[in-house]
């Protein structure tokens, strides 16, 4: 399965070009948009989201699009910011372009509202509806007391216009468990910046709070699955229960967790529910567990470099970085698993080669004027098709997040495995790794 699908364009009746991607060859068509903030390429940079999309594509023909004004699609004026009707027309244009007569729709937050509107307006084109962490109405009202009060709506519009607090504002509401994760925060900030500008962000935020679809819910005919996380304060149980009570025959599933973004945390549990709802079965695959060394790399200060170079210049430099990294992976027999943000995830069957490869990547990209940080851990991983999972992967990511620019950092599990190799290490002391029990001693590769 391709890592990133090719982007194509559909043209709407009013001449707007809508970017879309298609992945998978399953028997059902599935349109997915998790939040309404979108950039088709940038979304692939977050490992948890990429994993979620690949799993969905394993049992469907997965269809994703940037609505007008978003991401890779044609820009629009903020005074003409698209309403739900126009976004539904954009979706229809893409479905027509790929020859899809009926599709299941899967959306969260604002995109969930568009999916509800589409299902009610075009029942003949909708085979099923999946709603995750969304609501018919997000604003407070006397008859909707769990909505967001007017003063908080104004506050959210304000930070949308003033630079999005480097993305922290929205992360606090939709992915609170990731607040301490600098990689996720950097990716989210980049996603918002690439999705649309601050004026559009204000228009989009206002639209969220102006939308009220409660009267529309009883007209939805498609089989509907409503999901939420029990501790989600943004689009959680109260909103989900209201939807399930007012959409005929809707099924409600409440999952543990505090995040609104359904792919954050235990995203596989949510996809299990979606797969069973849409196909009637759950695919319980046997996972192979093997011992491997996992390498994470990441470009230091990538956001600043991208701002200095501009989109085109940054893309050229990033392509050079990717080619240099892949040459070293080939040289040291590493297996590229995925690209994560502005770096790579790779596995090796030997920790010595993994360390040598990390150092070689560092030196190669320095010639391009880039600095990376790298983290490694050796442990048992789960093989899930082309992807990897398990605590060892999580630990390697956390080790990388502790590294400074130009540093290759390893967990305490690695040095004993390369005794006699000539590699030398400098003790970096004990560290708490987010989400990993206990403290971990880390070592920097010397020289």
Q: Which of 38-52, 163-177, 406-420 has the lowest mean pLDDT?
A: 163-177
DSSP for residue 330? H
Q: How far, in Å, CA of 10 to CA of 193, rounded? A: 23
Q: How far, in Å, CA of 382 to CA of 384, rounded? A: 6
Q: Is the pLDDT of residue 286 over 70?
A: no
Half-sphere exposure of 228 (CA within 13 A, CB side): 23
What are the residue boundaries of the structural domains of the chain, listed by start? 8-279, 288-445
The radius of gyration computed from the CA coordinates of the chain, to the nearest angstrom, equals 22
Q: How many CB atoms lie within 10 A of CB 272?
A: 17
Tokens of residue 69, six digits: 């004004």
Per-residue pLDDT band at 136 (split at 50, 70, 90): very high
Tens-place pLDDT, residues 14-27: 999 999 999 999 99
Quick one: what percent of the chain has pLDDT higher than 90? 59
Any residues with CB less than 8 A from the CB of 14 and at least 6 apart, and which? 89
Per-residue pLDDT band at 417 (split at 50, 70, 90): very high
| Residues 344 and 295 sit within 8 Å (Cβ to Cβ) | yes
Tens-place pLDDT, residues 149-191: 888 777 766 666 655 545 555 677 788 888 777 788 888 888 8
Per-residue pLDDT band at 87 (split at 50, 70, 90): very high
Tokens of residue 319, six digits: 């392509």
Q: In the predicted model, what is the mean pLDDT of residues 112-123?
A: 97
Q: What is the pLDDT of residue 163?
A: 52
| Residues 411 and 378 sit within 8 Å (Cβ to Cβ) | yes
3-state SS, residue 430: strand
Q: How far is CA 265 from its chain centroid?
A: 11
Q: How far, in Å, CA of 70 to CA of 36, rounded? A: 9
Q: What is the pLDDT of residue 2?
A: 42
Q: In the predicted model, what is the mean pLDDT of residues 76-83?
A: 89
Q: What is the pLDDT of residue 159?
A: 63
Q: Is the pLDDT of residue 285 over 90?
A: no
Q: What is the pLDDT of residue 193?
A: 85
Per-residue pLDDT band at 223 (split at 50, 70, 90): very high
- Can 8-279 and 288-445 be said to share one CATH topology? no
| Residues 237 and 230 sit within 8 Å (Cβ to Cβ) | yes
Q: What is the pLDDT of residue 292?
A: 93
Per-residue pLDDT band at 281 (split at 50, 70, 90): confident
Q: What DSSP letter does each residue of 165-201 carry, written as one string? A: GGGHHHHHHH-GGGTT-HHHHHHHHHHHHHH--HHHH
Tens-place pLDDT, residues 302-352: 888 888 888 888 888 988 999 999 999 999 989 998 876 688 999 998 899
| Residues 373 and 406 sit within 8 Å (Cβ to Cβ) | yes
Average pLDDT, the chain: 89
Q: How far, in Å, CA of 270 to CA of 262, rounded? A: 7
Tens-place pLDDT, residues 367-394: 999 999 999 999 988 887 678 888 899 8
Tokens of residue 104, six digits: 């299941």
Q: Which of 93-102, 227-236, 333-342, 393-402 has the lowest mean pLDDT?
A: 333-342
- Residue with the two structure tokens 């600043």: 304
Nearest-CA neighbor of 78 among 186, 199, 240, 171?
A: 199
Whether domain 288-445 has CATH 3.30.70.1230: the reply is yes
Q: How far is CA 182 from its chain centroid?
A: 14
Break the chain down into helix, strand, coil percent, rounded to 5: 45, 25, 30
Q: What is the pLDDT of residue 161?
A: 61
Q: What angle do CA 343, 323, 48 make, to 5 degrees?
A: 30
- Domain 8-279 fold: Rossmann fold (3.40.50)
């Amino acid at each position: 399965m391709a890592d990133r699908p090719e982007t194509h364009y559909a043209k709407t009746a009013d001449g707007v070009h809508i970017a879309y991607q298609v992945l998978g060859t399953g028997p059902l068509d599935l349109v997915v948009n998790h939040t309404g903030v979108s950039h088709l390429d940038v979304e692939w940079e977050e490992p948890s989201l990429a994993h979620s999309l690949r799993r969905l594509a394993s049992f469907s023909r997965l269809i994703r699009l940037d609505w007008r004004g978003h991401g890779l699609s044609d820009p629009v004026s903020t005074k003409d910011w698209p309403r739900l009707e126009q976004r539904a027309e954009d979706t229809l244009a893409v479905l027509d372009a790929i020859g899809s007569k009926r599709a299941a729709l899967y959306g969260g937050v604002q995109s969930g509202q568009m999916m509800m509107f589409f299902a009610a307006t075009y029942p003949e084109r909708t085979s099923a509806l999946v709603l995750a962490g969304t609501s018919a109405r997000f604003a407070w009202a006397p008859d909707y007391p769990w909505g967001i009060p007017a003063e908080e709506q104004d506050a959210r519009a304000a930070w949308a216009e003033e630079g999005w607090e480097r993305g922290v504002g929205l992360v606090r509401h939709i992915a609170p468990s990731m607040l301490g994760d600098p990689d996720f925060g950097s990716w989210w900030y980049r996603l918002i910046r690439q999705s649309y500008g601050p004026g559009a962000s204000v228009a989009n935020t206002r639209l969220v709070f102006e939308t009220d679809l409660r009267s529309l819910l009883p007209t939805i005919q498609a089989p509907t699955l409503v999901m939420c996380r029990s501790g989600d304060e943004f689009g959680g149980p109260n909103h989900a229960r209201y939807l399930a009570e007012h959409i005929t025959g809707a099924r409600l599933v409440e999952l543990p967790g505090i995040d609104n973004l359904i792919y954050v945390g235990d995203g596989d549990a949510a996809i299990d529910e979606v797969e069973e709802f849409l196909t009637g079965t759950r695919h319980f695959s046997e996972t192979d567990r093997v011992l491997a060394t996992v390498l994470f790399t990441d470009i230091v200060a990538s956001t600043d470099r991208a701002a200095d170079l501009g989109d085109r210049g940054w893309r050229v430099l990033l392509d050079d970085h990717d080619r240099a990294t892949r040459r070293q992976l080939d040289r040291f027999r590493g297996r590229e698993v995925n690209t994560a943000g502005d770096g790579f995830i790779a596995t090796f069957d030997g920790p010595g080669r993994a360390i040598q490869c990390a150092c070689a990547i560092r030196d190669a990209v320095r010639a391009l004027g880039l600095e990376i940080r790298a983290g490694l851990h050796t442990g048992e991983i789960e093989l899930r098709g082309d992807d990897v999972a398990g605590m060892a992967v999580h630990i390697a990511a956390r080790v990388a997040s502790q590294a400074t620019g130009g540093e290759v950092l390893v967990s305490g599990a690695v040095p004993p495995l390369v005794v006699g190799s000539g590699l030398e290490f400098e003790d970096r002391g004990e560290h708490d790794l987010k989400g990993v029990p206990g403290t971990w001693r880390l070592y920097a590769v010397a020289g």
